[in-house]
Amino acid sequence: MGPVALALLFWAALSAARAVVYFREQFMDGVKWQDRWMNSQYKSDYGKFRLTAGKFYGDVVRDKGLQTSENSKFYAISSRFKPFSNKGRSLVIQYTVKHEQKIDCGGGYVKIFSSNLDQKNMSGDSQYYIMFGPDICGSETKKVHVILNYKSKPHPMKKRIRCKVDGFTHLYTLILRPDQTYEVKIDNEIIESGNLEDDWDFLPPRKINDPTAKKPKDWDDVPHIDDPNDVKPEDWDEPEYILDTTAEKPEDWDNATNGEWQPPMIKNPLYRGQWKPRKIDNPNYKGVWPCPQIENPNYSPDFSIYSYENISIIGLDLWQVRAGTIFDNFLITDDEQYAEDFGDDTWGETKDPEEKMNTKQTEEEKKRERAKEEKRFRERFNRKVEKQKESGKDKSNRITVKKEEL
């Protein structure tokens, strides 16, 4: 082994040694996961989770996770770990999601709670610190939630992140740092990043419009004006409704009872509405007036937005129309590199075999469908032949049945 390889191994081992892993769950010990995860009893009809690798997978043991098993159900389950604070440290939340049912409407996100959560009564109303992960519903909602609690109020991210919508396993990672920056990764690739203060409405804006400033009187901010050279056509004015000249007075019309008969009014096909001159670009347009900015007296910086105390519970609080989502490889740590390596060692090792297995299953299913179709074709063909035999026609003059006719 060369010196470069040894150095890489050394730094990897050092990183793992320095990393603090607050929570890790891979469901590698069979039914013992039930001792670590608690189902909520807030509702009596919650959907049930089961441990499975699904219909296709990269490794039947390593890919086992919690799968939603009942359609059109709410789900609520959580796991507790030793409380900690991320003050002064990065917080990394990571897990894998596989919508192998190609979900049409339902959540695939996790929630992080404080230690005072009553797990038996966890529900959609339970206050959480962080809500992170994919949410899909119809053709419009295909996004990654990043909702952070600040001063007991949930604040959704202002940016929009599109989630993965295929049926394969994907790795979702959220990183919050002490310098108030963040990253969102999907499959160990950065999808979005920035500053917490800029991309959430936690605080009032740093600057506001100067309330004493006034727009100059000669400032023209109208982009388009009426064309002064445009003239209304002479034949433009037509009434909107006209008498129906084709109408005839009913034979039983009684003027004494009903009054003098008048033909009904109909929509005038020549009516074009109110004439308006066409619009042209305003030669005096100066654009939107930029109001001078001043410091916002109500703004006060807060350098602890990223930080939470007594982080102690991770939970799945979901609604799914079509069940089948698998959650696995949960990780909460303070080390970004450790999380990336963990993702490569779990999701990264099984994603390609998973796709190959799915491709093989798809091809085999197509073969079975073709075989069924050929069988149905032969049966229809034979029935037609038998029908012609029974028709009593002379065999020598019988028309040969061709497959093309079917």
Higher-confidence residue: 406 or 50?
50
Distance between CA atoms of residues 152 and 158, nearest Å: 18
Residue 7, pLDDT score: 46
Dump pLDDT digits (tens) for 242-265.
999 899 989 888 888 888 989 999
Q: Treating both helix axes as pointing N-terminal to C-terminal, what angle do 347-390 and 336-345 enclose, rounded to 10 degrees? A: 30
Vertex 321, ends 315 and 322: CA angle to 5°?
A: 95
284: Cα separation from own chain's centroid:
45
Confidence of residue 18 (pLDDT cuts 50, 70, 90): confident
Residue whose tokens read 């909602």: 141
- Binding site feature residues for an alpha-D-glucoside: 109, 111, 128, 135, 317
- Contact criterion met (CB below 8 Å) for 205 and 298: no
**Sequence-ordered list of residues with C-beta below 8 angstroms from that of 148, at least 6 positions apart, any chain:** 129, 130, 154, 155, 157, 176, 196, 200, 202, 305
Round the average pLDDT of the chain to a whole number and report it: 91
Confidence of residue 379 (pLDDT cuts 50, 70, 90): confident
Q: Is the pLDDT of residue 394 over 90?
A: no
Dump pLDDT digits (tens) for 300-357.
999 999 999 999 999 999 999 999 999 999 999 999 999 999 999 999 999 999 999 9
φ and ψ at 259, to 5 degrees? 85, 175
Residue 44, pLDDT score: 94
Confidence of residue 362 (pLDDT cuts 50, 70, 90): confident
Q: Is the pLDDT of residue 27 over 60?
A: yes
Average pLDDT over residues 364-373: 86
Most confidently modeled range among 122-131, 139-148, 373-382 = 122-131
Average pLDDT over residues 216-243: 93
Average pLDDT over residues 151-155: 96
- HEC profile for 170-205? EEEEEEECCCCEEEEEECCEEEEEEEHHHHCCCCCC
- The percent of residues above 90 in pLDDT, for the chain, comes to 77
Residue 207, pLDDT score: 95
Q: What are the E-state strand segments in 85-237?
A: 91-99, 105-107, 110-114, 130-137, 141-150, 153-156, 169-176, 181-186, 189-195, 207-209, 224-226
Distance between CA atoms of residues 195 and 274, nearest Å: 52
DSSP H/E element including 294: strand 293-295
CA 99, 101, 102, 105 torsion-angle sign? negative
Residue 5, pLDDT score: 47
Confidence of residue 406 (pLDDT cuts 50, 70, 90): very low
Residue 16, pLDDT score: 53
Higher-confidence residue: 383 or 241?
241
**Sequence-distant contacts of 17-21: CB under 8 A, at least 24 apart:** 18/335, 19/333, 19/334, 19/335, 19/337, 19/338, 20/84, 20/89, 20/333, 20/334, 20/335, 21/331, 21/332, 21/333, 21/338
Q: Is the pLDDT of residue 203 over 50?
A: yes
Dump pLDDT digits (tens) for 51-96.
999 999 999 999 999 999 999 999 999 999 999 999 999 999 999 9
- Binding site feature residues: 109, 111, 128, 135, 317
Residue 217 CB neighbour total at 10 angstroms: 5
**Sequence-ordered list of residues with C-beta below 8 angstroms from that of 41, at least 6 positions apart, any chain:** 120, 121
Provide the 8-state DSSP code for 209: E
- Contact criterion met (CB below 8 Å) for 58 and 353: yes
- Contact criterion met (CB below 8 Å) for 168 and 158: no
Residue 4, pLDDT score: 41
- Contact criterion met (CB below 8 Å) for 26 and 94: no
Distance between CA atoms of residues 396 and 405, nearest Å: 20
Average pLDDT over residues 190-215: 96
- Contact criterion met (CB below 8 Å) for 64 and 53: yes
Residue 245 CB neighbour total at 10 angstroms: 7
Q: Is the pLDDT of residue 151 over 80?
A: yes
Distance between CA atoms of residues 171 and 185, nearest Å: 8
Vertex 190, ends 303 and 53: CA angle to 5°?
A: 115
- Contact criterion met (CB below 8 Å) for 322 and 67: no
Provide the 8-state DSSP code for 243: E
**Sequence-ordered list of residues with C-beta below 8 angstroms from that of 62, at least 6 positions apart, any chain:** 26, 28, 346, 349, 350
